Amino acid sequence: MAGERTKLVVKQRENVGSRESRRLRREGHIPGVLYGGGEPVAISVAERELRRALTGAAGLHSILDVEIDGHGKTHASILKEYQVDKVRGHITHVDLQEVPLDKPIHASVSVHLHGGEDAPGVREGGVLSQPLREVNIEALPLEVPEHLDLDVSHMEIGGTLRIADVAAPAGVTLLDDPETVVATVTAPTRVVEEESEEAAAEGEEAAAEGEEAPEGEAPAEGGEPSEEAPAEE
């Protein structure tokens, strides 16, 4: 939801470095940096508070009113970047960026497809694909949408929708090439099964068993002669 603001209380860090960061994580805090408004400030934030702030209606695009050490003054900020533990999936570091609320910012937002099950092309067996899942936009911080919607319920087999087909809310400008493909419906691939080597070998063996031995030649190994050999004189 555009315009959502969430208060986030953080602490300024006096000590920095990997050892200090590991200690903070063990105690349930996430190290980070607040940029903007002068020199960057090393901070830490309780993991539960950060999770609460980033799981609201606006998600990762929420405006964070960052308060340092409970001093009362807040810094309107956005989540600039974050790092995640590849094994546990937990956030291990955050970068926050202080922003003026009256100046546009650039952001990346996801595109959600709607109506895929009703698309005629899908009903006929076509495959709906989404080559592009995020687009870059420009908007005021409080106007950045959580996501953009794209209706695909009318798509036929062979149909294509591009960024130009994405409807942006008022105040939001799409920055990517309008001709970039976002969604397609392609015909199902017909798989032709080839004769396996085993089946081919069995066919050759069956054909060989059906052949008769040429006249005057001995029968196959293990067989008996059909006529008694003439006695030697």
Domains, the chain, with CATH or none: 5-98 (2.40.240.10), 105-186 (2.170.120.20)
How many degrees, rounded to 5, is the angle at CA 146 between CA 143 and CA 147? 110
Contact present, 125 and 188 (Cβ < 8 Å): yes
Unique residue bearing structure tokens 């609201």: 56
Which two tokens mark 82? 């974050």
> Would you state the pLDDT for residue 60?
80
pLDDT per residue rounded down to tens, the chain (233 residues): 566 788 999 999 988 888 888 899 999 999 999 998 788 999 999 999 988 888 876 678 889 999 998 777 899 999 999 898 888 888 899 999 999 999 999 999 999 999 999 999 999 999 999 999 999 999 999 999 989 999 999 999 999 999 999 999 999 999 999 999 999 999 987 655 554 555 555 656 655 555 554 555 554 554 454 455 455 44
Q: Which one, of 11, 37, 21, lies nearest residue 97 by Cα? A: 37
pTM of the full structure? 0.69
DSSP 57-114: TTGGGPEEEEEETT-S-EEEEEEEEEEE-TTT--EEEEEEEE--TTS-EEEEEEEEEE
Q: Is the Cβ–Cβ distance between 157 and 186 less than 8 Å?
A: yes
Query: Measured between alpha carbons, how far is residue 90 from residues 25, 30, 52 in Å?
Result: 10, 10, 14
CB 135 within 8 A of CB 166: yes
Distance in angstroms (rounded) separating the CA atoms of residues 159 and 138: 28
Enclosing H/E stretch for 22: helix 18-26
Identify the pLDDT of residue 216.
Answer: 52
Confidence at residue 77, expressed as pLDDT on a 0 to 100 scale: 93
C-alpha–C-alpha distance, residues 222 and 137, integer Å: 83
Q: Which of 118, 102, 152 is nearest to 132 (CA)?
A: 152
